[in-house]
Structures are given as C-alpha cells and as structure tokens.
Amino acid sequence: MIRIGIPRALLYYQYYPMWKTFFEELGAEVVVSPPTTQVMLASGSSRVVADTCLPVKVFLGHILALVGKCDYIFVPAIRSVESKVYNCSKFLGLPDLTRAVIPESPPILDIDIDINKGKRNLYQAIYQLGRHLTWYPLRVRRASQAAWQAHLNYHQLMSSRNLTPPQVIERISGTAEAEANSSYLISAQATIAVIGHPYLLYDEHVNHRLIHRLEQAHNRVLTPEMLSTEELQSAIARLVGRAYWTYEEEVVGAGAHYLQSGADGVIGIIAFGCGPDSVMMDVVRQQASRLKATPFMSLTLEEHTAEAGIVTRLEAFLDMIHRRKRSQVKTCV
Ligand code: SF4
C-alpha cells in the first residue's frame, strides 16, 4: 500500500479530514508527522534563512520528520479558495520551497488550488493528484466527493459543538478527549476568545500550551472554528467590508465577532515577521480600542519566545479580566 505523509503543520488543521478521506478512498495509507518538538523546529529552522516565519520553519521540521516514513509527502500550493481572495505568498511556493531545501524528501505530491482559474481547472488539478494512485477518473471523482463531505462534516462539528480542530480530529481517530472539556465550562471564571491561524492556536509547542493554560485557569475558551461561516463573514462585512486575504476570517472575522459578543476578553496570536497577520491583527486592535467593551491582548510568537514571558502576560491579562468581571457583578448587585 502506498503511504502518503501529511505534515502536522500549516493547513493540516483546516483540511486534514478532507485530505485523509481523499487518499484513503484511493487506497493509500496516510501517515501524519508527530506533534511539534523543539528538535523538529530546530531542524526545520536550519534549512531556511532566519527571517522566515515561524510556521514555515515548523512545517519544514515536520517534512524532515516524515523522511523515511512514507512514499510521498503531500504539499499543496493553495493560492485561493474564494474568488479574488488571496493567500499569503508563503503558501504558494511551499512545494518548490520543500523540494529546494529538503532534497532528501520523498517525492512531493502537490496540487495547485486557485479558484480564480475556474472549476474546470480545479477538477483537472484534482484528477492529476488522484492519478498518482489510480487511472480511473470515476474513482478520483468519488474520492473527491467523499473528501468534500468529510470537510463539511468537520466544520459543522466544530461550529455546532464548540470543538477545536484537534478535538474533532481526535474524535475521528476514535479517542474521547473532546468530552473532557465540559468540566471547564461548569466552573468557568471567564470566557476568553483566542483568535489567529489554526497552526498557531493548536500547535502546543509553538504557543506554549496556551489553550490548555487558559482552561487550567478555569476559563472557557472560544476559537474561530466555533463560529459558523455566516457569523464570520458578517463580522468581516461589518468591519472591513470584504476579505482580501484567504483565512482572514480566523483573524478579522473572529476578532470582530468576539469583541462584540460572547467573550470577556480576546487574545490575538500572530507569528513574528508575518506581514498579513500584522495588518489583520491591527484592524482587530483598532476595533477593540474603538469599542472599549472587551479587553484585547495580542501575543507574538517566534522561535525564541520564552515560556515565562507568555505565562506572565497571560496571568496579568486574566487577572484584569477576572477583576473586571467581579466589579461588574458588584455593580449589578
Ligand atoms: S500568513 Fe504569516 S505566519 Fe502564515 S505562512 Fe504567511 S507569513 Fe507565515
């Protein structure tokens, strides 16, 4: 059986169930790289120049972790998934970058996704990808339909049950971790929304277990995936009119929504050196200053971010929110 490696980084958290379903329907075995470690980050970092953004360094570390464990590695180049909305340039060149800096990698399976080129182009790209595993177009078509359904189910499960991508992926894999969260909801002191790209929010090594720390401190945590597409899009429309960047919903949409409803505080996570995020997070920061209703804090992550620094800022932010909530309760009484 052909083994296809999928790095647990970058777009993994958005699309893993879809990719897994597609390849398994075509008879392949999917191998996922392990959770990020310092060794993986250091190995990925050693292959690129220092000012490459942290998530790309992590991604390359995951590619290296898959070397020798699979026959191919899947690295899509996602340019656009919505008309006239564009992805960060790092995603466009990912297959070429991987080939160039990790020559020992197994062959890269890539696919160029650009919705602006039309549906016909997209179908052809999917068939070309599927041809590595079968010569039957009908089989590729069935696999892509099953994959799309898996993607819809994945997002529906997250928004309808307030689950994060790792929790849903654990459910799909048959573990019951997702149920554990309910204990935090009963005694939650505050509701904190964490916004940003999934590869920053759910990589526990990169963010120093931020979500876990918030839950341990008895806070209910909300993330962008817990909102429906309609909620995210209407929040973007209210704040900036129309999205320019792919995945802008995770930052501007979720930020705008949670600043106005559902959260006692909002934490924005960005990667050091990220151009799109610095612009998008600034829009959220300005909106927070205008509304003055919900406290907002942004955390910038980089390779050498100290855990102690994150913990200190988090404690100060939570302390302020908890005091604020207590004083609001007193005022009401
Ligand atoms: S959006 Fe920012 S963090 Fe993400 S890959 Fe692009 S530059 Fe890196």
CATH number at residue 251: 3.40.50
Both 233 and 142 in one domain: the answer is no
271 Cα–ligand 1 center, Å: 7
58 Cα–ligand 1 center, Å: 11
Both 23 and 116 in one domain: the answer is yes
Q: Chain-wide mean pLDDT for the chain?
A: 90
Q: Is residue 35 part of a domain?
A: yes
Both 143 and 191 in one domain: the answer is no
35 Cα–ligand 1 center, Å: 19
State how far the Cα of 88 lies from the Cα of 274, in Å rounded to an integer.
9
Return the pLDDT at 250: 86
Both 150 and 189 in one domain: the answer is no
Q: Could you give the percent of the chain with pLDDT greater than 70?
A: 95
Q: Is residue 126 part of a domain?
A: yes
Residue nearest to atom 8 of ligand 1 (CA): 53
Return the pLDDT at 134: 94
Q: Which of the residues in the chain have pLDDT under 50?
A: 178
Return the pLDDT at 240: 81
When divided into structural domains, the chain yields a total of 2
Both 233 and 141 in one domain: the answer is no
State how far the Cα of 118 lies from the Cα of 18, in Å rounded to an integer.
21
Stated pTM of the model? 0.91
Return the pLDDT at 254: 94
Residue nearest to atom 7 of ligand 1 (CA): 274
Return the pLDDT at 332: 64
Both 10 and 87 in one domain: the answer is yes
- H or E element: which one contains 73? strand 72-74
Return the pLDDT at 178: 46
Return the pLDDT at 185: 55
274 Cα–ligand 1 center, Å: 5
Return the pLDDT at 246: 77
Name residues contacting ligand 1 (CB within 6 A).
53, 55-56, 88, 90, 197, 271, 274, 276-277
Residue nearest to atom 1 of ligand 1 (CA): 88
What is the atom index within ligand 1 of the atom nearest the CA of 91? 5
Counted residue by residue, the chain has a size of 333
Full residue range of the structural domain in which residue 211 is found: 183-332
Q: Which residues of 176-199 are buried (b: 16+ CB within 10 A; e: fewer)?
A: eebeebeebeeebbbbbbbbbbbb
